[in-house]
Amino acid sequence: MRPRRLLLGVVAAAALFALVGALARWRGGPRARIHRAAVAQASCPTGRLAGPVARLLNRANRGMAAETLDAVGDPGDRLLDVGFGGGALMRLALERHSRLRVAGLEPSPEMVSRAQREFADEIAVGRVDVRAGAIEDIPWADGAFSTLVTMNTPYFWRDRGRALAEISRVLGPGGKVLIALPSEEMQRRLGLDAVGHELVDPDELAESMRAAGFERVETATMAVERRRGAVLITARAPYTRRG
Ligand SMILES: C[S@@+](CC[C@H](N)C(=O)[O-])C[C@H]1O[C@@H](n2cnc3c(N)ncnc32)[C@H](O)[C@@H]1O
């Protein structure tokens, strides 16, 4: 064999080994484990990392919270943030609307404890109420809220039909609902599907809302998140209760 061909063969074999090695690390190695752990924290911040994750979420999603609240306009007297994470949107809502009472729902016990400390003064005077739970079973009475917001949560919902029924139940007829989420492409780039979460097409979610009786359902690309491709769904809770 000529030396040049031998050299090419060795280089090709080395490249192949490197590629297979990289793929193995990607599929099951440390990188994949870190990715799984990061998504697990985003889906329910827990343990020692919960504090740093909450601060990270607040920083990363402050702009999205501001734009979501801009779109709310007048929130009425009671707003619920479902899956509030670090609570940035709740804080902003309190600052913007001096008479608004704000509630927060979170499945993560660490996020609930953190919010109880963070909002201790507002909780003492009845302006804030934080509870543990999930969107599929919201622990407040029918018609308890005039506005419901949720950011970056739909791909973590376990049951969309139940979630929409609960949103509708806790809002009075015509109550405002705003759902902010990354585009499906962005969700894919974040690798949510690689760790078992179902990607959510915002248009398809909007369609499910229409089918569930929500009215004035609209989707818009969020200005602040245009580069990352986030979508805001705005709607009104059904005026007539189904079932
Ligand atoms: C990516 S974080 C977003 C936090 C915050 N909304 C924000 O945008 O900064 C997703 C949050 O949704 C919460 N979550 C996960 N599953 C949920 C469910 N079924 N119902 C309500 N919240 C849920 C998680 O605990 C987590 O705090």
What is the pLDDT, as a whole number, of residue 227?
Answer: 66
Atom of ligand 1 nearest to the CA of 111: 27
Q: Is the CB of 158 under 6 A from ligand 1?
A: yes
Q: How far is CA 52 from CA 59, 90, 92, in A?
A: 11, 18, 20
**pTM check: above 0.85:** yes
Which atom of ligand 1 is nearest the CA belonging to 64?
Answer: 8
- What is the rounded average pLDDT of the residues 172-190? 93
Among the listed residues 116, 76, 68, the one whose alpha carbon sits nearest the alpha carbon of residue 92: 68
Give the rounded distance of the alpha carbon of 126 from its chain centre: 26
What's the CA-to-centroid distance between 6 and ligand 1, angstroms?
A: 56
Q: What is the pLDDT of residues 128-155, one digit of tens each?
A: 999 999 999 999 999 999 999 999 999 9
Could you give the C-alpha distances from 65 to 38, 200, 220, in angstroms and in order? 21, 20, 15
Contact between residue 128 and residue 80 where contact means Cβ atoms under 8 Å apart: no
pLDDT of residue 51: 87
Report, in angstroms and rounded to the nearest whole number, the Rg of the chain calculated over CA atoms: 22
Residue percentage of the chain with pLDDT more than 90: 65
Rounded to the nearest whole angstrom, what is the distance from the C-alpha of residue 232 to the centroid of ligand 1? 16
* pLDDT at position 119 over 70: yes
Residue from 210, 185, 212, 209 nearest 199 by CA: 185
**Is the minimum distance from the CB of 41 to ligand 1 under 6 angstroms?**
no
Q: How far is the CA of 95 from the centre of ligand 1 (A)?
A: 22
SS3 call for 145: strand
For residues 111, 127, 119 and 83, what is the CA-based torsion angle, rounded to 10 degrees? 20
Confirm or reject: Cβ of 155 under 6 Å from ligand 1.
Answer: no
Distance 153 CA to ligand 1 centre (A): 5
Find out whether the beta carbon of 79 lies less than 6 Å from any atom of ligand 1: no
Ligand 1 proximity of 153 Cβ (cutoff 6 Å): yes
Q: Is the CB of 238 under 6 A from ligand 1?
A: no
Q: Give the pLDDT band (50/70/90) at residue 241.
A: low
**pLDDT of the residue at 2:** 60
Q: What is the distance, to the nearest Å, from the Cα of residue 237 to the centroid of all Cα atoms in its chain? A: 20
Rounded to 5 degrees, what angle do the CA atoms 102, 237, 152 make? 60
How far apart, in whole angstroms, are the C-alpha atoms of residue 199 and residue 155? 6
DSSP string, 206-224: HHHHHHTT-EEEEEEE-ST
Residue matched to tokens 């979501």: 68
